[in-house]
Amino acid sequence: MCRNLNIRMLNLFSTAVDLRQISIFDVRIWLLLCGTMILVSCQPNGSTESQSVPFFPSDQISVMSFDLNRYGMDDRDGDGQKNNPKPQAEQQAVVKLISKVNPDILAVQEIGDPAAFEAFQRALKNVGIEYEFTEYLETEQSTYHLAMLSRFPIMSSWSHKDDRYSMGDANVLLTHGIIDVDIGVNPGYEFKLMVAHLKSKEFHPLGQTEMRRNEARLLNKHMRRALKKIRV
């Protein structure tokens, strides 16, 4: 059996999940409304990779998902150029909310370019929130990117940004990609976390609804593959 552990997942609200009964034969899948998929799988003691995983005595960890709503540069004044930063008051509101929750793992959507991600981390650090481990996923199809920040080590990264699907004669790249990482909480517990942000409902000549449906199918494919790899 795995070490007792509760996971709290927050998407501007929180819910408690009791995993005290989980075993290596159990798998839980959790979907957060903001587009973050949590796939929880339990690994037995001694099954983690050789990378050292610190032991955390608490029986609870928290995971928060937050769509930052265009945190990086964007066209905010309607002149056709994406050169306007997110207003300072909005940035401060985001950081203040996150600081109140102070999650162990933070998944964010629409973070912007690498400079915006670095500025975001500095803003968190200024209020006392630091994450040693991060995964940033940037694609050419969008200026709105994905990131994951964690106090627990990333044991493996399988993130996807080259997935494609077909719509008629069009061969389409997945808009935002999918973060796919394995996180080691302690020597007896590791879980997989997937972060996704499906195509927006803004107009697209190919049909935004069908694009979202195809992106959801790709996400489902990766989830199923991950489930098959779990040993029972």
More confident residue, 163 or 44: 163
Q: pLDDT exceeding 70 applies to what percent of the chain? A: 73
pLDDT at position 2 is: 41
Q: Looking at residue 33, what DSSP letter applies?
A: T
Q: How far apart are CA 4 and CA 15, in angstroms?
A: 17
In the chain, the amino acid numbered 149 is: L
Residue position matching structure tokens 């080259």 = 162
**Residue 22 near residue 166, CB atoms below 8 Å:** no
Sign, CA torsion 196/201/207/210: positive
pLDDT at 4 > cutoff 90: no
User: Rounded mean pLDDT of the chain?
Assistant: 77
pLDDT at position 190 is: 83
All domains of the chain in start order, with CATH: 6-229 (3.60.10)
Q: Which two tokens stand for residue 193?
A: 């976390």
Q: Looking at residue 24, what DSSP letter applies?
A: T
Q: Give the global pTM.
A: 0.77
pLDDT at 209 > cutoff 70: yes
More confident residue, 66 or 47: 66
pLDDT at position 122 is: 96
pLDDT at position 59 is: 67
Model pLDDT for residues 155-194, shown as the tens digit of each residue:
999 998 888 888 888 888 888 889 999 999 888 788 889 9
Q: In sequence order, what are the residues at sequence separation of 6 or more whose Cβ sits closer than 8 angstroms to the Cβ of residue 144?
A: 70, 72, 109, 110, 111, 112, 176, 197
Average pLDDT over every residue of 9-36: 39
- Name the range with the highest mean pLDDT among 15-19, 27-31, 140-144, 217-221: 217-221
**Residue 199 near residue 211, CB atoms below 8 Å:** yes
Q: How far apart are CA 149 and CA 135, in angstroms?
A: 7
More confident residue, 207 or 112: 112
Backbone angles phi, psi at 148, to 5 degrees: -135, 130
Q: In sequence order, what are the residues at sequence separation of 6 or more whose Cβ sits closer than 8 angstroms to the Cβ of residue 175?
A: 139, 141, 142, 197, 198, 199, 211, 215
In the chain, the amino acid numbered 176 is: H
Strand 60-67 relative to strand 105-109, pairing: parallel
More confident residue, 225 or 51: 225
**Residue 207 near residue 157, CB atoms below 8 Å:** no
